[in-house]
Chains A and B, each alone.
Chain A
Amino acid sequence: MRRSLYVSSAIHAAILLWVALGDGLFKDSPDPVFEVTGVTLVSTAEFDAMFDQAQTSAPEAEITPAPRPAEPEPPAAPEPLPEPAPLPEPPAQTAEAAPEPAPQPEPTPPGEVTDTLAPPAPPSGAPDLPQTGRPTPRPADRIAPVPTPAPEQDVAIAPEATPEVATPAPAETPAPAEEQAAPEEAATRIVTEAETPSGGPLGPLASIRPPTRPDPPRPVETAAPAPDPAPQPEPPQSDPLADAIALAVASAVSTPAPSNAPSGPPLTAGAREGFRVAVSTCWNVGSLSSEAQRTTVIVGFDMTREARPVEGSLRLISFEGGSQMAAQQAFETARRAILRCGATGYGLPVESYDHWQQVELVFNPAGMRLR
């Protein structure tokens, strides 16, 4: 019973102390400051005069960027105005009216795309974009202009002393790689986009050029390995799986890249069909023997850039279905067809030359004999 009285008394005493002393601890929020603006009453005639004057000076209002959006003016007259006064444009639009940035290099037209490889990329790997188009960083005061001193390097204290390693240490201890960090773009005040000093667009002006294709790896030189003066047994730390992967990749990429790899667009189906039909029109099997008409020959040849067959390159690659003599007859007929219809060129696109520089034609008379 008495304990309840003590508790109640203590609580009440605390409340009384909080009421008596709390005014000193807590501070009231300051009263809002009301700005008072002087208002001048004008008549209708004076307003019209002011309106006319505003209209005459409207173009200047469009050019001059307004620092802040104009506040809507109270309707001074109930009757509608014949022409509403052009309101100043919002800041964002005003920013678009700013002087254009420096001219950018025009992109290469798609029709002029060539197979010429891009020059090798700079070693730093930075894109070779023009810097004129990049928005300059905003000059803004930092919150903490004084750089914080670098913290002391943590040193791990080993429980036991490690003996010095016998291997020679590098001459210079490489500095620890520091991660590149952008300066903190914080300012003491809000900086809007409208106040961008450079006035340039914030978006990227050009795409980053893709990195150039790396050079094909050179074949591993298989020079005689120098004998190790002091072969040291290495611990078997190699992972068999990793070794297999490395070997597979190495064998794949070490395949000597052909120097005459086809370039340019491949032949279209129409061009191939046109080529095939052109040869067909000159392939006269009427004078072939019955056996030769059962013989399929594969004829290989080279072509010039004018799509003319190189006469000396025609050769019988293989044949099937007949004797050697029949194959020779069939080959001569095929050769005659290739040379005769190719005398003026087969009209193949020169940009695809790599794809038809070498040709193999299969002359299959199965559908032609004795119909």
Chain B
Amino acid sequence: MLTRRSLICSASALAAATTLPGLVRAQNRPLRLEITEGVIEPLPFAIPGFIARNGAAADAAADITRVIAADLRGTGLFRQIPDSAHISTVTSFDAPILYPDWQAINAQALIVGEVEQQGGRLIVRFRLFDVFSQQPLGDGLQFVGERDGWRRMAHNVADQVYERITGETGYFDTRVVFVHEEGPKNARLKRLALMDYDGANVQFLTDSRAIVMAPRFSPTGDRIIYTSFLSGQPRVYVMDVASVRSRPLEAISAGNMTFSPRFTADGGTVVFSMEQGGNTDIFRVDVNGGGRTQLTNAPSIETAPSFSPDGSQMVFESDRTGGQQIYVMPAGGGEVRRISQGSGRYGTPVWSPRGDYIAFTKQESGRFHIGVMRTNGSEERLLTASFLDEGPTWAPNGRVLMFTRETAGANGAPAVYSVDISGRNLQRVATPGMASDPSWSPRLP
């Protein structure tokens, strides 16, 4: 009996000893909740007109403010609060921020800046504030440049704002090379053109004497490789952007059709497709000529190669199984692995600069799509759908795609569009006419 009572007592005591402190601690715990659902909507921001430190900078200040706002709005991630809704007016770059005034209009980010012109140079300063946290987001920055480079300075400011809020690298200070098209559909004239990512500062790189297609930037952005029919048949050319001079790739037999070129990840070599005796395979050559290597060898059409950012793998399209599908193989050659598993035809794969996705064109049921998938073919998502969407190219941050969309009918015309990899924010890029085959440059140095 004594033993039993002792056991009961000891059990009770031990239970109290173990649970009582736990209960006390449990009462002291803060309230913990898990938030799993949020909203996806543009972040409202306010950007009062940049202050002109002197009269000569007045126009530049207004223009820079406008470009910054347009850059941010164009991402679809930000919503500008119109100036008419502002309560406070910023009269000095160093004036304290009246946060309640900006909170009242629900501005979550506030961009304040000033522009000063000294001779032929502009000085642009800006600060970014988190309105509800009532503290600056990062340090203030100052950009100095030529008067004519005010757009790039504005893009740089927008890049900084974008990076500080989203955590992604910006893509505003970039350019796009594309094919400018003119004339009727049966007698189309095509020229290489270069523009800012937002369609400004268009420059033509070639004339209309020959059809050009598939331009691609080098990883450093200083060269462009493209296909031209200047010699009467398609052939790969390399252009130096600074001098706008082109030359055909050496080590390629003049009698063979070469097309669909692309730089490798290091920019030192080029891969392209070449037709030989009715069969098309992928080859690699040194960008300065020589060292030709055949990467694929199959009695089918292999084309549209693209390298992973680390240069270890190559993705391409092939009809070796009958239908047009996407395959991955080691960069130096080896086992080929099909990654596209869905129905329809897949083509023009492009490896993301971040290495996490592969963008592609898909044709199914008479419609074209731009989509993305993981590098192993999983998580395929179609981002667009239209009569003809093709030729995706990645923004340098790997978050936005640009592609060609052509309308149907005899009067159908190509245009360049952009879309977020989430499928949101589909926008047409402003071009001075018909445009196709865009290729996004890396960020400018």
Contact = CB atoms under 8 A, between A and B. Distances in A.
Interface string A337-371: 10110010000000000011111111111111011
Interface string A241-266: 10011101101110101101110000
A284 B28 contact: no
Contact of A366 (B32, B36, B399): B36
Contacts of A258: 24, 27-28
B10 A340 contact: no
Contacts of A365: 36, 38
A308 interface: no
A283 B133 contact: no
Contacts of B171: none
Interface string B392-424: 000000110000000000000000000001100
Contacts of B36: 364-368
B139 interface: no
Interface stretch (B160-168, B233-241, B271-279): B160-168
Nearest to B422: A370
Contacts, number: 157
B108 interface: yes
Contacts of B167: 288-289, 291-292, 325-326, 328-329
Interface string A28-48: 000000000000000000000
A246 B10 CA distance: 9
Contacts of A367: 36-37
Interface residues of A, number: 64
A-B complex: 5 closest residue pairs judged by Cβ atoms: A358-B30, A283-B38, A329-B167, A289-B167, A286-B40
Interface string B16-40: 1110110010011011111111111
Contacts of A325: 167
A279 B42 CA distance: 17
B35 A339 contact: no
Contact of B21 (A255, A314, A360): A255
A356 B27 CA distance: 11
B135 to A, nearest CB: 9
Given A329-B166, A336-B132, 16 more contacts: A249-B13, A249-B16, A253-B20, A260-B28, A262-B28, A283-B35, A286-B40, A287-B43, A287-B166, A290-B354, A332-B130, A361-B32, A362-B32, A364-B35, A365-B38, A371-B422
Given A248-B14, A258-B24, A343 B132 contact: yes
B38 A359 contact: no
Interface in A38-73: none
A287 B31 contact: no
Interface string A128-153: 00000000000000000000000000
B6 interface: yes
B20 A280 contact: no
B205 interface: no
A28 B400 CA distance: 126
A284 B38 contact: yes
A290 B168 contact: yes
B444 interface: no
A91 interface: no
B105 interface: no
A359 B78 contact: no
Nearest to B165: A287
Contacts of A201: none
A300 interface: yes
A186 B29 CA distance: 61
A282 B39 CA distance: 7
A12 interface: no
B430 interface: no
Contacts of A364: 34-36
Contact of B40 (A241, A262, A284): A284
B9 interface: yes
B209 to A, nearest CB: 43
Contact of B17 (A252, A284, A290): A252
Nearest to A364: B36
Given A275-B33, A336-B130, A248 B108 contact: no
A344 to B, nearest CB: 11
Nearest to A348: B31
Given A241-B6, A248-B16, A261-B28, A336 B33 contact: no
Contacts of A255: 20-21, 24
Nearest to B26: A262
Contacts of A248: 10, 13-14, 16-17
A361 B6 CA distance: 46
Interface in B365-398: 381, 398
A209 interface: no
Interface string A172-207: 000000000000000000000000000000000000
Nearest to A283: B38
29 contacts: A241-B6, A248-B14, A248-B17, A249-B13, A249-B17, A251-B17, A252-B20, A255-B21, A258-B24, A261-B28, A262-B27, A267-B31, A276-B35, A279-B33, A286-B41, A287-B42, A287-B78, A288-B167, A329-B166, A334-B35, A336-B130, A336-B133, A343-B103, A360-B32, A361-B34, A362-B34, A363-B38, A364-B36, A368-B38
B137 interface: yes
A285 interface: yes
Given A300-B30, A336-B132, A361 B17 contact: no
